Amino acid sequence: MHEEGFMDTVRKNLTLDRQYFGNDITTSNRFRDTISPVLSDNVQGSFREIYVNGFYLGHNDIRVGKKAKTHTQSSQETVELICCMEGACLQMKSTLATPVHLIANSYNVIYSKKNNAETDWYPTNGRVSALQIHMVPQLFLEYLTLGDKSRNTVRFEKNIKAGKSCQLCSEGMPLSPYMQFAIDQIINADASKVFKPLYIESKILELLALQLKQIVALEKKPIPTLKPENIKKIARVKAFMEQNLHKTMTLADLSKIAGTNDYALKKGFKSLYGTPVFAYWNTLKMNMAKKLLLQKTVSIGEVSDKLGYKNQRHFSSAFKKQFGLTPRQFQT
């Protein structure tokens, strides 16, 4: 183990060398939250580390002109939740037979005997953002026994007990709007210093619960196979909605962006992401509204305008339907 932080050096060839778990997460209950700058000729950004009550979190937020590479080393056995919010990654672990491949807004859960890995990061619009949450296998297994099981979770549990490194899912799973909001709350936790560890831990557990629930549910109702070109079209619409929360458009408008028809977009989106097109967009808008209202630096009317509502009353009704409180009640 190395007592230095996760980030050791940043090389000019875009390789980031890391030695992590400077504190053993099996025994460390001391809260720690540090941010290290990432600076080189072609890479800029930050790497954040959080230790909290048996969890280790690492958040990459970098801007890079081309592919970046990271090397990680640790002798500790862990279960890792890896969430790719922006960009894409291809990770090769020394103990895994197949690489971990994630595109933007996807995740997987990985058990590793040793965390020796090489990861290639591919930016989207010049940016990569990913969150990795590590815990000891015993802790993960405790949570796994609390909910329903599936073939994947049963297999994953057997592999952990046998000490066989593996991925929970054969491919990346889509991050739902609720998962994205939980991740945002983890990264931007603004709770007081006293309660921040408890707040972050609760959001980690919320994220894990949402992911396991989705994995079990989708196995009971498998996602229909879509052609790669159709997946790209649907993903184009999803990215558009995420980047244009201030707009209001019809299904026909979105279909033109995708280059497909209304029926194909409607059916394909629900099949791929498990939620209807406009339910997804509305959830994104409401989560952003919640984030803005928590800051208390903008008025309810301004939040309504930022999210494309022509009538503040319509915004308030949508917010109450989503969260059970009006925007004003939420702020107080």
275 contact partners, CB below 8 Å, separation of at least 6? 176, 177, 269, 283
120 contact partners, CB below 8 Å, separation of at least 6? 67, 68, 69, 89, 90, 91
Q: Is residue 270 part of a domain?
A: yes
Kindly state the percentage of the chain with pLDDT values over 90. 37
Q: Let me know whether 126 and 197 are in one domain.
A: yes
Of 200, 220, 240, the one marking the end of a domain is: 220
| Cα 138 from Cα 161, distance rounded (Å) | 9
Per-residue model confidence as pLDDT tens digits over 293-328: 887 788 999 999 999 998 999 999 999 998 889 999
Q: Is residue 324 part of a domain?
A: yes
Q: Is residue 2 part of a domain?
A: no
CATH number for position 279: 1.10.10.60
Per-residue model confidence as pLDDT tens digits over 239-261: 899 889 999 999 999 999 999 99
Q: Let me know whether 199 and 269 are in one domain.
A: no
Q: Let me know whether 204 and 327 are in one domain.
A: no
| Cα 228 from Cα 48, distance rounded (Å) | 34
Per-residue model confidence as pLDDT tens digits over 167-208: 999 888 888 888 988 998 899 886 566 788 889 999 999 999
Q: Let me know whether 176 and 308 are in one domain.
A: no
Of 220, 239, 269, the one marking the end of a domain is: 220
pLDDT at 244: 93
Q: Is residue 122 part of a domain?
A: yes
Per-residue confidence band for 8, with pLDDT thresholds at 50, 70 and 90: very low
pTM over 0.75: no
| Cα 320 from Cα 326, distance rounded (Å) | 5
How many domains is the chain partitioned into structurally?
A: 2
| Cα 248 from Cα 132, distance rounded (Å) | 34
| Cα 182 from Cα 163, distance rounded (Å) | 30
Best CA proximity match to 213, nearest among 182, 238, 243, 247 = 182
Q: Which residue has the tokens 């009353």?
A: 313
Check: CB of residue 32 under 8 Å from CB of residue 23: yes
Q: Let me know whether 315 and 271 are in one domain.
A: yes
Structure letter (DSSP) for residue 53: T
Per-residue confidence band for 273, with pLDDT thresholds at 50, 70 and 90: confident
Q: Let me know whether 265 and 318 are in one domain.
A: yes
Q: Let me know whether 83 and 201 are in one domain.
A: yes
Residue 76 has pLDDT above 70, yes or no: yes
Q: Let me know whether 153 and 279 are in one domain.
A: no
Residue numbers of the domain that contains 90 = 7-220
Q: Is residue 1 part of a domain?
A: no
Best CA proximity match to 9, nearest among 31, 35, 37 = 37
Check: CB of residue 157 under 8 Å from CB of residue 107: no
Q: Is residue 311 part of a domain?
A: yes
Bridge partners, 63 (sequence order)? 44, 127
Q: Let me know whether 130 and 22 are in one domain.
A: yes
Check: CB of residue 20 under 8 Å from CB of residue 80: no
Q: Let me know whether 147 and 25 are in one domain.
A: yes
Per-residue confidence band for 18, with pLDDT thresholds at 50, 70 and 90: very low
Residue 137 has pLDDT above 70, yes or no: yes
Q: Which residue has the tokens 């909910």?
A: 147
pLDDT at 25: 53
| Chain-centroid distance, C-alpha 28 | 25
Check: CB of residue 313 under 8 Å from CB of residue 300: no
Of 220, 254, 285, the one marking the end of a domain is: 220
CATH number for position 89: 2.60.120.10
Q: Let me know whether 110 and 238 are in one domain.
A: no
Best CA proximity match to 90, nearest among 115, 45, 44, 121 = 121
Q: Let me know whether 178 and 270 are in one domain.
A: no
Q: Is residue 56 part of a domain?
A: yes
Check: CB of residue 73 under 8 Å from CB of residue 118: no
Best CA proximity match to 82, nearest among 93, 68, 97, 67 = 93
| Cα 326 from Cα 319, distance rounded (Å) | 6
pLDDT at 71: 79
Q: Is residue 134 part of a domain?
A: yes
